[in-house]
Amino acid sequence: MKQVNPIPYGRQHITDDDILAVNDVLRSPFLTQGPNIAAFEAAFAAYIGATYAVAIANGTAALHLCTMALGVQPGTKVITTPITFSASANCVRYCGGEVYFADIDPETALLDPKAVRALLEAHPKGTFSGIIPVDFAGYPVDLPAFRQLADEFGLWLIEDACHAPGGSLTTADGKTYRCGDGSLADLAIFSFHPVKHIASGEGGMITTNDENLYKHLLRLRTHGITNKPDEWTELQPGEPERGGWYMQMQELGYNYRLTDMQAALGLSQLSRADQMLARRRQIAARYDEAFAGTAVKTIVPAASAGHAYHLYVIQVEDRKGLYDFLRTKQIFAQVHYIPVHTMPYYRQFGWNWGDFPHAEQYYARCLSLPMYPTLTDKEQQYVIDTVITMIK
């Protein structure tokens, strides 16, 4: 079968309704902070199951504000996974904190709670301040286990749920936690990059059930400024009476706001999030069936995991050979991720190849195949046939 059009690993899906939603904003008085921001935040919080949501410029900015709100500063030590996009670690460095890595579970590619416990127990209690687990590829991380560790060692949790809106985890006692619902992590973050479940060009969201953190985040995303009189400090001697113009910068924040245009697009996309998630799961099931019994290793989620399938990752012996071969066939697979601890920037802090064998072995073999809701059955079959041709 000949494939003419390129097949990327991920792709946004923009509908006429999406375009109309953005057009409506362009014809309105608001382009930056308008009514769609609050509407998107409320709808997203309801979808995820959290009490509060704060719309942010992008997922990286969301991580940065989370570390700020939780008090990361020079000397603060935080643990995360080496198999993630670098922003999961960089956000700690933005605040001057120190990043520590722990190895992954080779069966899931997720941060391993046992490895984190070993790291915590190897240091005096109080050494570490927090953990940033990642719902990698859409597979929900074992957040109950990390919550137990956090409570035991006095830590906070940021759930990096960029890959997992709509994902969930059901525990042995039958309780279901939705990724980012705020019931276990102090804060959770999401991304609306074009290849994610919900696309707004750029954009992100922070969810939480903590009212104080929520209010703090609202200030931090807008230069640390508040225009709410009940939050202002008292008048200073000689200060003139304040009026409707008055605002107060209470701390150093950033311009990390989402625009109303992006919020309108995100809100439109959110309206069909369940439909798009169902299609991702259908595509994953077809891949699972096709590769069963072959030399292609797949990550099969536990029955308790509601996988959100941002990515569909396989592992093969000749990863580079397959990667190059697929490109000759117009299939543009991708690698997620190069272990963060091996990047030159992090090697300056003493991390090296060989530190985390499971993460490094996973990286040597992993490849993300096309996974997006508009991938057709014909295109997917072409991908499957091409992969199997190469590995035979």
Give the residue numbers marked as catalytic: 196
Side chain identity, residue 80: T
Residue 28 sits at the vertex; the CA angle it makes with 265 and 54, to the nearest 5 degrees, is 45
The β-bridge partners of 52 are 208
For β-strands 156-160 and 187-191, DSSP reports them as: parallel
Residue 73 sits at the vertex; the CA angle it makes with 68 and 76, to the nearest 5 degrees, is 115
- Name the token pair of 371: 């996974």
Peptide bond before residue 362 is cis, with ω within 30 degrees of 0 = no
**Residue pair 213/186 in contact by the 8 Å Cβ criterion:** yes
DSSP letter, residue 137: G
Find tokens 């008292």 and name the residue.
234
Give exposure, 200-237, as e/b (b: 16+ Cβ within 10 Å).
bbbbbbbbbbeeebbbbbbbbbbbbebeeeeeeeeeee
- The contacts of residue 13 (CB under 8 Å, 6+ apart) are 199, 276, 372, 373, 374
**Beta strand ranges found along the chain (DSSP E):** 7-8, 52-56, 77-80, 98-101, 130-132, 156-160, 168-170, 176-178, 187-191, 204-208, 225-226, 248-249, 297-298, 305-306, 312-315, 331-332, 366-369
**Residue pair 284/371 in contact by the 8 Å Cβ criterion:** yes
Instruction: Count Cα neighbours of 246 within 13 Å in the Cβ-side half-sphere.
Output: 16
Which is nearest to 116 in space by CA: 106, 125, 104, 126? 104
Find tokens 């570490």 and name the residue.
128
